[in-house]
Structure 1
């Protein structure tokens, strides 16, 4: 290519670049609303992962009946009603330094931390308890019911962007809530965790226990992210001496008392 042609090409490129630069400069004082809106939307989308539950969360309730889904009710069996009438709050597991169990542990006033990997999701509580959701297991171990655990055995799966957790083999000493709902070792939980924003999710729990409840029931908690850097261990001392630990405190406490069986 002749030198003059190469020079002409460079000159044309510089001229065009200069025109473009002048146009950009002329518009520099005016915001590009389309670009700003697109950038903000892209940033928000990147920040919100519906499958990311890592972080510290809180969704507390003392009384599951206050969180029942519309149309849901708790109907006790004969045995469940007998235990409900005789419940003693002095024997609440937390009062005697026993683990809270999966329901109460994630509905206490203390926050909890979720640590998530592809294979497992761990829930760590300030009461020094933990749950593990095994994401690669399709079924529970065949002998799991022979070895119940305080937090049970949990397997998880994804249904779209909803985390579904199935839990069995829960020790019967734990309570479902602070109001006095007990359960047996036949308790079966189906939990659904669904992100509603980067900093919030719903926790929907279906409770099945044919020993205590005549039919399943479902409740839901709204859970929010806490801007905490870490958990603060809340260890229970078995020599705590407040009155509730020592004195019988009969009578369950619920906003909507469970339905008793017909006599």
Structure 2
């Protein structure tokens, strides 16, 4: 069922980005750190777009008419999802978990238009070299014709912190001097040391970069991530409103600053600022509203389902080209 939210008065401020509440004092762990531990799935945010539709301009919130349209769309998808279960006809309707209706126009809040900044000239050049099953009219001959997500290596960052159609579970674990973030998609775990500078030696790099964190204001975990290996894709394929195709590159100069602010016993505001001067002409920031759900179950992410998908793509692509050559000879 879609969440019910109150109507917004015609003279309401739909543009101003609300300040993050910072007055909540959370409980603490046995060793005294703010307690983030728990299950924080982001499936309720499905169908909230990464980028704002241009016609919504500078509006942070949907108006009543737009919210009603989103609510109706998600309600219809939810009914179809439930109907497949009831009728035991589970099919394409279960590829997408509908999510709940909310009034956000986009996850991106900076730039103010809710749009990702343009790519640099080098970003455009590198984008043209990317290979992915999400790109149209592509041929496949080797595993290198697929991106790292296709090959079940990683969805990358910041993509892994945004919702996809399914497998949106996130769990946070803590130990003295350490935070771990488990992600259902690809079953990756981010290990985040706290308090010290754990910079990697020169020349070392990682699929998910290297993160280190510290606490601010008694309720906010701040995580800085750098040392990416530049082989992932930072813009979020599958997240609604993303640029089409998994072809936005990432450079070794990419840097992420994340803020996990506890705003209530069951709520976190997650913000990420992403900077990559080689690829983007400016930094950008996104905000997501997390909700605790300890009843959520993390399922197996059977990425290749028998490890046959890459081979199947390649065999099919070669067969299609051979068939086309035969037709041309005729």
Instruction: Sort the TM-score into its range (normalised by shorter chain).
Output: 0.5 to 0.7
Contact 2:268 2:289 (8 Å CA) reproduced: yes
Structure with the larger helix share: 1
Q: Structure 1 residues 108 and 172 mapped into 2: Cα distance closer, same or farther (>3 Å)? A: farther
Aligned positions of 1:19-30 closer than 5 A: none
Q: How does 1:32-111 map to 2 (within 5 A)?
A: 51-59=34-42, 64-65=50-51, 66-70=106-110, 71=112, 73-84=116-127, 88-90=131-133, 91-109=146-164, 110=167, 111=169
| 1:30-51 C-alpha deviation (Å, 9 max, x unpaired) | xxxxxxxxxxxxxxx9986693
In structure 2, the partner of 1:171 is 229
SS in 2 for 1:96: coil
Question: Root-mean-square deviation (CA), in Å?
Answer: 3.0
Find the aligned partners of 2:129 and 2:173 in 1 and give their Cα distance.
39
Say if 2:274 is the partner of 1:207: yes
| Displacement after TM superposition at 1:88 (Å) | 4.7
Aligned length: 201
Higher strand share: 1
Q: Report the TM-score when normalising by structure 1.
A: 0.66
Unpaired runs of at least 5, structure 2: 1-23, 52-105, 134-145, 318-330
Q: Does 1:121 pair with 2:182? A: no
| 3-state DSSP of counterpart to 1:166 | strand
**1:223 corresponding residue in structure 2:** 290
Against the structure 1 CA distance between its residues 188 and 46, is the aligned structure 2 distance closer, same or farther, given a 3 Å change threshold? Answer: closer
| Deviating 4+ runs (over 6 angstroms) | 241-247
How far apart are residue 241 of structure 1 and its match? Answer: 6.4
Give the Å deviation of 1:202.
Answer: 1.4
SS at match of 1:146: coil
2:312 & 2:269 partners in 1: Cα distance? 35
- The residue correspondences of 1:132-143 to structure 2 (distance < 5 A) are 132-138=191-197, 140-141=199-200, 143=201
Distance in 2 (alpha carbons) for counterparts of 1:61 and 1:183: 24
Residues 41 and 296, structure 2, Cα contact 8 Å, conserved in 1: no
* Separation of aligned partners in 2, 1:219 and 1:149: 23
**The one of 236, 240, 245 aligned to 2:303:** 236
Q: Does the C-alpha gap of structure 1 residues 212 and 236 become closer, same or farther in structure 2, counting only changes over 3 Å?
A: same
Structure 1: any 5+ residue segments left out of the alignment? 1-44, 248-263
What CA distance in whole angstroms lies between the structure 2 residues aligned with 1:87 and 1:108?
Answer: 22
Aligned-partner Cα distance in 2 for 1:129–1:244: 25
Q: Distance in 2 between matches of 1:155 and 1:117?
A: 14
The separation in 2 between residues aligned to 1:233 and 1:77, in whole angstroms, is: 38
- Mapped to 1, the partners of 2:124 and 2:212 lie a distance apart of 31
Aligned CA distance change for structure 1 residues 215 and 229 (closer, same or farther; 3 Å): closer
Tell me if 1:159 matches 2:216. yes
Contact 2:210 2:226 survives alignment (8 Å): yes
